Amino acid sequence: MATSATFWNSRDSARPGGTRSSSVPPIEPTANLEAASDMKNLADLTRTNPAAAAAVRALIKADHTIGAALAMMQTAMATAAPPKAQDRPSTPKRDHARRPGCSNSAPLSPSPLPNRKRVAPHENDAPRKKPTKGARATTPIIVGSEEEDDGLDIDYGARNHNSFEEHWPSNKICRLVKSLDFVDMWFFTPAGCRAAAKDRRDGTEQAMLLQADGTLKPAGPPQSLVKDWDLDAHDFRSAADKWLKVAMKMGVSTRMQNSIALLNNEICGHESWSTEPTPLIRWHHHQRETWARDRFTPGCYALHALDPATYANIRLRGAVAASDAANTRSAIAEAAVATMRQQQQGSTSSRQANHQPQGDNFPALPACVAGQAAPTTFRAATAPPARTDRPFGWITTSTKEASNSSPRGNQHASSSTLGAASTGRGTAGGSTAAHGARAGTTATSSVDRPLTAARGALGPTQLRASGWSAALHKAGLAQRYPTIVAGIQQGFHVGLPCITSTFVPPNHKSATKDPATVRAKIDKELAAGRYIGPLSRPACEAAVGGPFQCSPISLAPKPPDGWRFIQDASFPRSDPSHQSINSQIRSDDWPCTYAGIATVIWQILHLPPSAQAAARDVRSAYRAIVLHPSQWPAAVVHWEGEFFIDTCLAFGMASSAGAWGIVGDALADVLRHAGIGPILKWVDDYLFFRVPRRELHSINTERVLLAARVQREHRGGVILWRDGDRELTEDFSTALLALSPEPDEWAYDFSSVDTVCAPLGVPWSAEKEQAFGPRITYYGVEFDIPGRIVSLPERKRAGLLLLLREWLTRATFRRDETESILGKLQFATHVVPNGRQYLTGLVTFLGLY
């Protein structure tokens, strides 16, 4: 293994006269006697700065010694740190010693003009008229004079290091931080800082309330205040960092700054943070609140002195509260089941004789709870809990009925039993009719039967649970992505709502005008096993366990010559009697990364011109995500009087992009931990960069610097890492490795990617693969790496020119045509930024209608 000195020398010799020189000095190999000291330093760094320690371990993995990796990180942190106050030239202090014979006079300052001696004023001198202040540029500044003493301590050697458009809490909150009082973390979140900025603009930062007795009191906290434990974990962590930043800027003592940093690291770096952040947030809140109360007590404990017993007590109280809530839901569910049993017993003999299910004759449960706790949600572990899903029972239907109701032949529902998710709780009366069972059908408690039928009905997926489990644990990502393996095995929860009444809207004209294409799409899904059907309405209600809701089918063009099958889950848009599926989904609960054109340009500019890129696309990525049976009632498709249960993720659902995106992010992270990269992704499109092996050292050095600077942010449905004004899509904690066997070859090729992805079952599309080369097409744009050029593909450019020529020959246009061409031209401004100014006419035109 090469020493650190060899690493720097070889890199410098490989790039004579280049611009990628590093400020890191050569590091001599450490002696064996220093190994114990290096291990201790690494342990200390892990405790105080986990992100930096992760970067150090990545360097060690890339064949650097522990001492060399630590030294590189120290240099990186010193480079990234802002200049300290003691490093800047200080403002000279004024000498206020009185001169003999002068009262309250300032010492003489040097005369601004040569050969001119300044005379001290005497007490008996007549007062002179204060001169009118002229332009500052021409008036000499006399330091220490009374008229120029404005009370400001200006350091002319300092610079403004405030970030552009940085959010900052109110002055009141800053004073509370300076006095070490307790402050809710919401005030440091973007929402709290925006509220403070609004109050500053409106002049209401010091608002007072008039009481009934005529006295005034300060206004209380805003109504939008969110308690610490109700904040998203990402927002809380960002707020904790902002708290420390405010403390540093307000001049809080160094020991208290260190104590705040240690408290944040202990809580946010806890092993349970990624899976169970709420108890840790409550622990953080309790520690701050009690310390602010006790801080003036003699011998007070340090702010970061946490007691593990407190955390255990918080977790215990949380478990008790959850148990009480579950018991309440159970009581509601059992009461609802008892009501249904009474109604079943009072049903008419004619219904019993006909043996025909009458789905709408049974009321829905008052809430989507039947004694089951909320399932594990398919989202980042720190996201809020999902809505509780509706109950499912075991429902037996007649094979004859199923076949009669399906003229095309029921491929999945012809068996005598349709399984659904178990509620996990029996009823007092033993075997009862489950919600959705009808007269003439036989229903048994879900406790009496295993869940084999429901699992057998899950849609097929090429993803392999065992491979994902092994890969995530090997890369140390199991806690970051805790629901993927269970989702592959049992189906994913993607936030689809509970359905209380069956709703079947008509399909859109784009589908009804092309029935052959729709039928071909449905037949394809049936052949792949992703649709259950066709079913009649009663049989569909029996299969999903009660009422269901359809989303209208629509077709959208899919370049170059195909059609995309879409379920319009945003319909209806303005019907007070029915909510759309998407209006009940919080898509922000599934945040993931998106690397757009700006990120690709940034990445290319941070790679040598010799770099190459390639692209791969995951075939039918959404369809690889199978749904948990609890999601089926909101995933039903209706076509020509027949119903089909879509068991996989569909286009048109608000959570689809993020639900797949979390799996996609996990795939990218697994590849990065294998030493492959850099990697960027947009939904199911992956962009791979590679460099010659000789460039790896310089690239990894830059990645270490980035790892020390970037800050993770969660903004809506997007996860990003911010480096100043740049928004990036990884934390740069992993090193790029030389995976090719030849020393003069590239760092890796697609065979290395396939070695990692084969056990995972990733369905790459061979038709859309682009081999490694100096030019690549991604996100509809061509990138020339050595030329540093971005352009539109020829097909897209020619099509846009043809459309513009057609527009120039017409005098009238429809609104949808105008919106379409405006969207295409706005996309083209990624390549021609100066073209934005020419689109104002179209924007104004659209605003008139």
**pLDDT digit string, tens, across residues 166-221:** 778 888 899 999 999 999 999 999 888 888 888 777 665 555 444 454 444 555 56
By DSSP bridging, strand 642-646 and strand 531-535 are antiparallel
Is residue 718 within 8 A of residue 727, CB to CB? The reply is: no
For residues 296 and 184, state if they share a domain: yes
In a domain, 144, yes or no: no
Give a yes or no: residue 80 inside a domain: no
707 lies in some domain: yes
Domain identity same for 778 and 809: no
Q: Does 817 lie in the same domain as 739?
A: no
Which of 252, 246, 256 is closest to 171 using CA atoms?
246
Beta strands 770-773 and 612-617 are: antiparallel
Read off the DSSP letter of residue 583: G
Q: Are residues 577 and 501 in the same domain?
A: yes
Comparing CA positions, the residue from 663, 670, 661 lying closest to residue 476 is 670
Examine the domain organization and report whether 553 and 572 are in the same domain.
Answer: yes
DSSP state of 582: G
**441, 565: one domain:** yes
Strand order in the sheet with 718-723: 711-715, 718-723, 726-728
Classify residue 321: in a domain, yes or no.
no
> What's the structural domain count of the chain?
4
Q: Please state, in angstroms and rounded to a whole number, the distance separating the CA atoms of residues 22 and 12.
A: 9
Q: Considering the domain boundaries, does residue 762 fall inside one?
A: yes
Task: Report if residue 250 sits inside a domain.
Answer: yes
Task: Identify the domain boundary among 791, 806, 835.
Answer: 791
Asked if 486 and 396 sit in the same domain, the reply is yes
**In a domain? residue 568:** yes
Of the residues 247, 282, 306, the one at which a domain ends: 306
- Same domain membership, residue 545 and residue 613: no
Q: What is the pLDDT of residue 718?
A: 94
| Residue 846 to residue 849: CA distance in whole angstroms | 6
Do 704 and 801 share a structural domain?
no
Of 495, 515, 618, residue with least CA distance to 565: 515
Q: Residue 750 sits in a domain of what CATH number? A: 3.30.70
pTM above 0.75, yes or no: no
Q: Do 720 and 583 fall within a single domain?
A: no
Among residues 764, 791, 818, which one ends one of the domains? 791
Rounded average pLDDT per 10-residue block, the chain, 849 residues: 35 40 40 65 80 78 78 74 52 49 47 50 52 47 52 80 75 91 92 84 56 51 80 89 90 91 90 88 93 91 91 84 66 62 53 39 36 39 37 32 38 35 34 33 31 51 95 95 94 93 94 94 94 95 95 86 88 86 90 95 96 96 95 96 96 93 97 97 97 93 93 92 93 92 84 96 95 96 96 93 91 86 91 89 79
Lookup: tokens for 658: 């993020």
Q: Quick check: 549 and 499 in contact, CB under 8 A?
A: yes
With left for phi above 0 and alpha for psi between -120 and 50, is residue 71 left, alpha or beta? alpha
- pLDDT computed for residue 45 by the predictor: 84
Q: Which domain holds residue 544?
A: 356-467+476-588+626-633
Start-to-end C-alpha separation, the chain: 70
Q: Are residues 784 and 803 in the same domain?
A: no
Q: Which CB contacts under 8 angstroms, 24+ apart, belong to 302-305?
A: 302/259, 303/256, 303/259, 303/260, 303/262, 303/263, 304/259, 304/260, 304/262, 304/263, 304/266
Question: Are 798 and 735 found together in one domain?
Answer: no
**Looking at the domain assignment, is residue 146 inside a domain?**
no
Residue 758 CA to residue 727 CA, distance in Å, equals 31
